[in-house]
Amino acid sequence: MTRPVDIPTLVEQARRGAPRAVARLISMVEDAHPALREVMAALAPYSGHAHIIGITGSPGVGKSTSTNALVTALRRRDLRVGVLAVDPSSPFSGGALLGDRIRMTDHVLDPRVYIRSMASRGHLGGLSWTTPQALRVLDAAGCDVVLVETVGVGQSEVEIVGLADTTVVLLAPGMGDGIQAAKAGILEIGDVFVVNKADRDGADNTVRDIRHMISLGDRTEPGLWRPPVVKTVASRDEGVDEVVEALDKHLTWMKDKGELRARRLRRAADEIEAIVIKSLRERMGDLRGEHGVDTLAAAVVDGEQDSYSAADQILADLT
Amino acid sequence: MTRPVDIPTLVEQARRGAPRAVARLISMVEDAHPALREVMAALAPYSGHAHIIGITGSPGVGKSTSTNALVTALRRRDLRVGVLAVDPSSPFSGGALLGDRIRMTDHVLDPRVYIRSMASRGHLGGLSWTTPQALRVLDAAGCDVVLVETVGVGQSEVEIVGLADTTVVLLAPGMGDGIQAAKAGILEIGDVFVVNKADRDGADNTVRDIRHMISLGDRTEPGLWRPPVVKTVASRDEGVDEVVEALDKHLTWMKDKGELRARRLRRAADEIEAIVIKSLRERMGDLRGEHGVDTLAAAVVDGEQDSYSAADQILADLT
């Protein structure tokens, strides 16, 4: 049974920064709570303040240590910080790992830092509609910066781009040579590159590789943002302030060039489309019974019909 | 300019097994050729013969060597074999790597083996609608077995399940211990597990780990398929006939239990839905101009409207 929720009060509490209200709203996003529409309508006027920063990188580069160190550096500037760790890698188990929820122990007692792990429920497109809503909650709750970290590998590295104003790509010596980075498609997505574990052998080579690969791309044209490459040792808080400066510079550049608004427009359009698709999928789900998708699927399996003509029938019913 | 195509002739040639006609039809799938509907309608009556086998595993387990060895073993039984290597890992570059197209050199001169690489064009859901159509081409062309191999990592390992009748999960000693496999979600998706490079240290441990993890799941209930774990050294053709036997047994089991039809119905339903969604996305794309998604996105960015109410307006226009 769903407990009735007083949305206006909850939203007001979240806006004043009450951690439990923020947590409750994000849970409602995760659970696709029936009152989510009402929540999002109430939050709408208070969105757009936070600088949304995506953090991505292969396992082993020190993602959570770096996120932790970034939170520390942002708190030194007295900024209110949200952290959302998204795990799209676990399609069957669902639910975020307990370890994620408790690992950023440096900040759990700081009332001006919100930390939250979310499972994206393993569905393709899961990231695309739950995460923007969770971000909107943290934004409306008055966060100045929200860090979105994807746990896991693969597609998620690319998906995160659509979610963030600024994307930070983390590398480590020996893992992030230029060719690998190019193959993974991360050269195209990084606004700021960070070579972590820079006290290890090969850090300068990695920096050189990345700079070289960037110079080969079309990023060097005048007026375009040239992604900086920053060295850090996140575990010792070295270089982290330089990362924050690079993030600030990117935000200023985006504002100056109209790029911030352009990215947010693209993001909002993607989010709207994701909600539309989700809603249409639900209607199709309702059509899975007699005379619906299931019957048509049988005709396709039996070779009586092809999948396009079957799709046409569904479209006719939907629209 | 698109060259006009004589679809009935092309389909007839493909059905008689002409490699160039098969290749041309798969290219039409890749290019989303306007005549694709006609092709699929013409192929519909000839589908359902091939045993579709998905092959997945992390980089380094010997996926292409194993696929190559499986083709050899299937040809020893005089079966007609199709191979589709799908690369969903490269969202920005598009296009399959030349290396994939030429690496299975043992079989390129065999007229009863079709080998094809496909890029899934990097879009989420790309795999979900192009690959089933390419499979249908190979099926209608008279392949007894089609091997679908995903190049790349992550989500693709899970997506392949939806495409195949039988899913083979490849592991290698030292990479595929039980915990890793469980984390990656591959225990749930494998119908047959193959521990390749079984001449290496630790192969028996890997087999034991996987068997143990399987025994902990719900696969041991009576009437369910208990996935076998087969050891191979694909590069020396050791154990590969045992894999083919396991695949045969799984096919027989699926037929006996009605599972083959159940899986194909699910697959057809998913494919129909993917085509519906694609078509609706295109209509939404047409709505991106004035009064469409873009205008609504601006209202969301400006906090005048929330994404749900924006989605409602699009839905009203679409349906």
User: What pLDDT, on the 0 to 100 scale, is given for residue A286?
Assistant: 72
User: What pLDDT, on the 0 to 100 scale, is given for residue A151?
Assistant: 62
Percentage with pLDDT > 90 across chain A: 41
Chain B residue with Cα closest to A266: B297
Q: Mutate which of B124, B273, B287, B294 to disrupt the A interface (most A C-beta within 10 Å)? A: B273
Please report the residues numbered 235 through 264 in chain B whose beta carbons come closer than 8 angstroms to any beta carbon of chain A. Answer: 261, 264
Which residues of chain B make contact with A122, given a CB cutoff of 8 A?
158
pLDDT of A201 above 80: yes
Which residues of chain A make contact with B152, given a CB cutoff of 8 A?
154
Q: Mutate which of B86, B183, B276 to disrupt the A interface (most A C-beta within 10 Å)? A: B276
User: What pLDDT, on the 0 to 100 scale, is given for residue A210?
Assistant: 86
Interchain contact, B307 vs A271, CB within 8 Å? yes
pLDDT of B20 above 60: yes
Question: Which of B261, B276, B309 is the closest to A311 by Cβ?
Answer: B276
- A173 CA: distance to closest CA in chain B (Å): 21
| Three-state SS sequence of chain A | CCCCCCHHHHHHHHHCCCHHHHHHHHHHHHCCCCCHHHHHHHHHHHCCCCEEEEEECCCCCCHHHHHHHHHHHHHHCCCCEEEEEEECCCCCCCCCCHHHHHCCCCCCCCCCEEEEEEECCCCCCHHHHHHHHHHHHHHHCCCCEEEEEECCCCHHHHHHHHHCCEEEEEECCCCCCHHHHHHHCHHHHCCEEEECCCCCCCHHHHHHHHHHHHHHCHHHCCCCCCCCEEECEHHHCECHHHHHHHHHHHHHHHHHHCHHHHHHHHHHHHHHHHHHHHHHHHHHHHCCCCCCHHHHHHHHHCCCCCHHHHHHHHHHHHC
pLDDT tens, position by position, B114-171: 888 776 554 444 455 688 889 999 999 999 999 998 765 454 455 566 789 999 989 8
User: What pLDDT, on the 0 to 100 scale, is given for residue B98?
Assistant: 35
**A&B contacts, CB < 8 Å:** 198
Interchain contact, A308 vs B153, CB within 8 Å? no
Interchain contact, A305 vs B44, CB within 8 Å? yes
User: What pLDDT, on the 0 to 100 scale, is given for residue B117?
Assistant: 77
Mean pLDDT: which of A105-109, A242-246, B1-5, B146-150 is highest?
A: A242-246
pLDDT tens, position by position, B239-255: 999 999 999 999 999 99
pLDDT-based confidence at residue B180 (cuts at 50, 70, 90): low
Interchain contact, B37 vs A306, CB within 8 Å? yes
Residues A134 and A39: beta-carbon distance below 8 Å: no
Interchain contact, A301 vs B45, CB within 8 Å? no
pLDDT of A122 above 70: no
pLDDT-based confidence at residue A54 (cuts at 50, 70, 90): very high
Q: Residue count of chain B, please give it.
A: 319
Residues A83 and A108: beta-carbon distance below 8 Å: no
pLDDT of B105 above 60: no
pLDDT tens, position by position, A252-263: 999 999 999 999
More confident residue, A210 or B185: A210
- Name the one residue in this structure whose structure tokens are 């924006």: B310
pLDDT of B77 above 90: yes
Cα(B210)–Cα(B188) distance, integer angstroms: 11
Task: Please state the φ and ψ torsions of residue A318, each to the nearest 5 degrees.
Answer: -80, -35
What does the mean pLDDT of chain B come to?
Answer: 81
User: What pLDDT, on the 0 to 100 scale, is given for residue A138?
Assistant: 95
Percentage with pLDDT > 70 across chain A: 78
| A281 touches B: beta carbon within 8 Å | yes
**Ranges A108-117, A263-272, B63-72, B175-184: which has the least confidence:** B175-184
Please report the residues numbered 291 through 310 in chain B whose beta carbons come closer than 8 angstroms to any beta carbon of chain A. Answer: 293-294, 296-298, 300-310
DSSP, res B55 = E
pLDDT of A246 above 50: yes
Interchain contact, A37 vs B308, CB within 8 Å? yes
Which residues of chain A make contact with B155, given a CB cutoff of 8 A?
88, 91, 124, 154-155
pLDDT tens, position by position, B53-62: 999 887 778 8
Which residues of chain A make contact with B305, given a CB cutoff of 8 A?
44
- B129 CA: distance to closest CA in chain A (Å): 10
Tell me the average pLDDT across A271-277.
84
Chain A residue with Cα closest to B153: A154
Chain B residue with Cα closest to A276: B311
More confident residue, B233 or A287: B233
pLDDT-based confidence at residue A60 (cuts at 50, 70, 90): confident
User: What pLDDT, on the 0 to 100 scale, is given for residue A216?
Assistant: 75
pLDDT tens, position by position, B275-306: 888 888 788 777 666 568 888 999 999 999 99
Interchain contact, B268 vs A297, CB within 8 Å? yes
User: What pLDDT, on the 0 to 100 scale, is given for residue A119?
Assistant: 64
**Identity of the amino acid at B310:** A
Chain B residue with Cα closest to A264: B301
Task: Please state the φ and ψ torsions of residue A30, each to the nearest 5 degrees.
Answer: -60, -40
Interchain contact, B297 vs A40, CB within 8 Å? no
pLDDT tens, position by position, A143-198: 999 999 876 545 445 556 678 999 999 988 875 455 555 555 667 788 999 999 99
pLDDT-based confidence at residue A73 (cuts at 50, 70, 90): very high
- Tell me the domain boundaries of chain B: 48-257, 271-318
pLDDT-based confidence at residue A31 (cuts at 50, 70, 90): confident
| B97 touches A: beta carbon within 8 Å | no
Interchain contact, A154 vs B158, CB within 8 Å? no
Cα(A91)–Cα(A121) distance, integer angstroms: 6
pLDDT tens, position by position, A202-237: 999 889 888 888 887 766 677 889 999 999 999 999
Mean pLDDT: which of B42-51, B168-177, B307-316 is highest?
A: B42-51
Tell me the average pLDDT across A272-277.
84
**pTM to 2 decimals?**
0.68
| B87 touches A: beta carbon within 8 Å | no
Which residues of chain B make contact with A132, given a CB cutoff of 8 A?
307
Interchain contact, A308 vs B275, CB within 8 Å? yes
Interchain contact, A155 vs B92, CB within 8 Å? no
User: What pLDDT, on the 0 to 100 scale, is given for residue B236?
Assistant: 95
- B125 CA: distance to closest CA in chain A (Å): 8
**Ranges A35-39, B90-94, B179-183: which has the least confidence:** B90-94
**CATH code of domain B48-257:** 3.40.50.300
Tell me the average pLDDT across B43-59.
90
Residue B235 corresponds to which tokens in the numbers above?
A: 């590069």
User: What pLDDT, on the 0 to 100 scale, is given for residue A94?
Assistant: 30
Residue B145 corresponds to which tokens in the numbers above?
A: 């077995």
Give just the sign of the alpha carbon dihedral B143, B147, B152, B156.
positive
Tell me the average pLDDT across B72-87.
90
Dmax (CA) of chain A: 67
Residue A224: CB atoms within 10 Å: 13
What does the mean pLDDT of chain A come to?
Answer: 81
- A38 CA: distance to closest CA in chain B (Å): 9
User: What pLDDT, on the 0 to 100 scale, is given for residue A245?
Assistant: 98
Interchain contact, B132 vs A307, CB within 8 Å? yes
Interchain contact, A301 vs B265, CB within 8 Å? yes
